[in-house]
């Protein structure tokens, strides 16, 4: 039996974190290809270090997107994030591009042909999760960790807090009593800053955004509120630590409160089930909770490369379900969960991915142009009526 009284911690990282810089560049490349051709294939990886960016991978799409185009895309992404420091500057960083044609063997398995439907772009397992701890049906620790950094980024971009730099991390530990979050026991925020600001000033800037992000009365004790524990954080971003696409998969999903299949999202077009099926699993889990069929819902899907239909579906409502899990799994399996079915239902063949690269792929508001479509709850009535 799961413990009902415990502490649980999740972390988030800002858009200027080295790994997130790489996620952003990779997803900007995906968006550029999908904007030019909705059925383009992209698997793009980025590495960033001191004043150098390396972009590599496989693509299939219009020739109008050249290596020079990709270099411009990378520089613009870094400019928007806000890097103009000596060791990492969007204007002077070297950008190496090593994108080449997608493997014919992969294309053969994925492409639709004759009576064969479009297959999955890879084998793998994907998880989706939802719970009623927050209004957006996300686990509370990761939700608040993201919100702290989003608020700090907003004032940095607006010019209200010019002392802050692009690179930052947050960590929130919540106390659970009878399975419900009741307050924080510790909060850690490390943020890059200018040389002319004191640590106490940084602490008070951060405090304001922490208090705005967490529920009233949830603040941790003062001696458990850590801001820049090393004492100084001036050198940040890829100049301070090399970054790679796909290294923050727990930050991208549920903060450790649910399993992760292992595949990263950023840099991949939606034929890659690492991305699209993980979005679909979240979509299904969120609708189950939104429909009141469970307070928590974990869903696993599995696929084989080149095969359209999922090999399995697993549903676990973690003791909170109001309906039979086997019947629920059967009902969800009746939906078209092939790569093509997912993409069409959620409208994934659009340039909507760069915005997902920081502050989580889940728990966001669906947008008018189709962004975060997997956060919709339009299956609620269908699920309720089935039970």
135-190 residue pLDDT tens? 999 999 999 999 999 999 999 999 999 999 999 999 999 999 999 999 999 999 99
pLDDT, average across residues 356-367: 98
- Looking at every residue in the chain, the average pLDDT score rounds to 94
Residue 268 annotated as binding? yes
| Total Cβ atoms within 10 A of residue 315 | 25
Query: How confident is the model over 35-74, as pLDDT tens digits?
Result: 999 999 999 999 999 999 999 999 999 999 999 999 999 9
Do 187 and 224 meet the contact criterion of CB atoms below 8 Å apart?
Answer: yes
Residue 71 annotated as binding? no
3-state DSSP call for residue 88? strand
Residue 286 annotated as binding? no
pLDDT, average across residues 338-349: 95
Residue 118 annotated as binding? no
Residue 167 annotated as binding? yes
Residue 58 annotated as binding? yes
Helix 273-290, helix 339-346: angle, nearest 10: 60
Do 89 and 51 meet the contact criterion of CB atoms below 8 Å apart?
Answer: yes
pLDDT at 144: 98
Distance set, CA 272 to CA 23, 25, 306 (Å): 16, 18, 11
**Does 355 have pLDDT greater than 80?**
yes
Which residues are marked as active site? Answer: 17, 19-20, 45, 58, 169, 233, 241-242, 247-248, 268, 272, 274
**Does 109 have pLDDT greater than 60?**
no
**Does 1 have pLDDT greater than 80?**
no
pLDDT at 123: 85
pLDDT, average across residues 315-339: 95
In which band, very low, low, confident or very high, does the pLDDT at 325 lie, cut at 50, 70 and 90?
A: very high
What does the alpha-carbon distance between residue 286 and residue 367 come to, in Å, rounded to a whole number?
17
pLDDT at 102: 80
Residue 169 annotated as binding? yes
Which residue do the tokens 């004492």 mark? 231
Return the closest-CA partner of residue 348 out of 30, 13, 22, 1.
30
pLDDT at 3: 74
Beta 225-227 vs 180-193: how paired, if at all?
parallel
Residue 45 annotated as binding? yes
Domains located in the chain, CATH noted: 6-13+140-235 (3.30.300.10), 124-132+273-386 (3.30.300.10)
Query: How confident is the model over 228-254, as pLDDT tens digits?
Result: 998 899 999 999 999 999 999 999 999
Residue 336 annotated as binding? no
Residue 386 annotated as binding? no
Distance set, CA 199 to CA 154, 191, 287 (Å): 20, 10, 44
pLDDT at 274: 94
């Amino acid at each position: 039996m799961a413990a009902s009284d415990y502490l649980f911690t999740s972390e988030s990282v800002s858009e200027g974190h080295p790994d997130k810089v790489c996620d952003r560049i990779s997803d900007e490349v995906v968006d550029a290809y999908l904007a030019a051709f909705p059925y383009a294939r992209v698997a793009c990886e980025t590495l960033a270090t001191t004043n150098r960016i390396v972009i590599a991978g496989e693509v299939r799409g219009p020739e109008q997107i050249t290596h020079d185009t990709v270099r411009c895309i990378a520089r613009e992404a870094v400019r928007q994030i806000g890097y103009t420091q000596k060791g990492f500057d969007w204007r002077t960083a070297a950008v190496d591009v090593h994108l080449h044609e997608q493997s014919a063997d992969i294309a053969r398995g994925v492409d639709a042909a004759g009576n064969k439907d479009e297959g999955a772009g890879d084998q793998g397992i994907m998880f989706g999760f939802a719970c009623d701890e927050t209004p957006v049906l996300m686990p509370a620790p990761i939700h608040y960790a993201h919100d702290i950094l989003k608020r700090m980024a907003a004032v940095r971009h607006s010019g209200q807090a010019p002392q802050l730099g692009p690179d930052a991390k947050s960590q929130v530990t919540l106390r659970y009593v009878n399975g419900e979050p009741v307050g924080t026991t510790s909060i850690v925020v490390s943020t890059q800053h200018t040389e002319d600001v004191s640590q106490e000033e940084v602490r008070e800037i951060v405090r304001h955004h922490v208090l705005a992000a967490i529920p009233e009365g949830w603040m941790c004790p003062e001696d458990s509120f850590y801001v820049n524990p090393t004492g100084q954080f001036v050198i940040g971003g890829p100049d301070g630590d090399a970054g790679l696409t796909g290294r923050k998969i727990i930050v991208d999903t549920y903060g450790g409160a649910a399993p992760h299949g292992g595949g990263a999202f950023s840099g991949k077009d939606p034929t890659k089930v690492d991305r699209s099926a993980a979005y679909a699993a979240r979509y299904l889990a969120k609708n189950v909770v939104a429909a009141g069929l469970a307070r928590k819902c974990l869903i696993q899907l599995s696929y084989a490369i080149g095969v359209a239909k999922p090999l399995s579906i697993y549903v676990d409502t973690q003791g909170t379900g109001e309906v039979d899990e086997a019947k629920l799994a059967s009902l969800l399996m009746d939906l078209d969960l092939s790569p093509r079915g997912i993409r069409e239902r959620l409208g994934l063949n659009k340039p909507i991915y760069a915005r997902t690269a920081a502050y989580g792929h889940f728990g966001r508001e669906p947008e008018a142009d189709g962004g975060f479509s997997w956060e919709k709850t339009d299956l609620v009535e269908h699920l309720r009526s089935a039970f």
